[in-house]
Amino acid sequence: MPMIRAEFISGKSEEQKRELIEALTRETARVLGVREESVWVVLQEVEAENWGVAGKRLSDR
């Protein structure tokens, strides 16, 4: 049943996204003691202009 949601700045490669899903699934199943088949992972890519830290958009830094 675990649901893992990963939000990060868009621009990562297909290979990185594939590996991130695999790694987050493996570690979640291992630590929580559940089957990998029961783990969902959703990647949410966010434009730098839509992510602010300390009041500034990452696209403006």
Q: Which residues are catalytic?
A: 2
Q: Is the separation of the CB atoms in 2 and 40 below 8 Å?
A: yes
CB of 29 to a copy of itself, least distance (A): 8
CB of 28 to a copy of itself, least distance (A): 7
Q: Is the separation of the CB atoms in 43 and 17 below 8 Å?
A: yes
Residues found near a copy of itself in the complex (CB under 8 A) = 1-9, 12, 14, 16-28, 30-34, 36-37, 39-46, 49-58, 60
CA of 37: how far to CAs of 1, 4, 7, in Å?
9, 13, 22
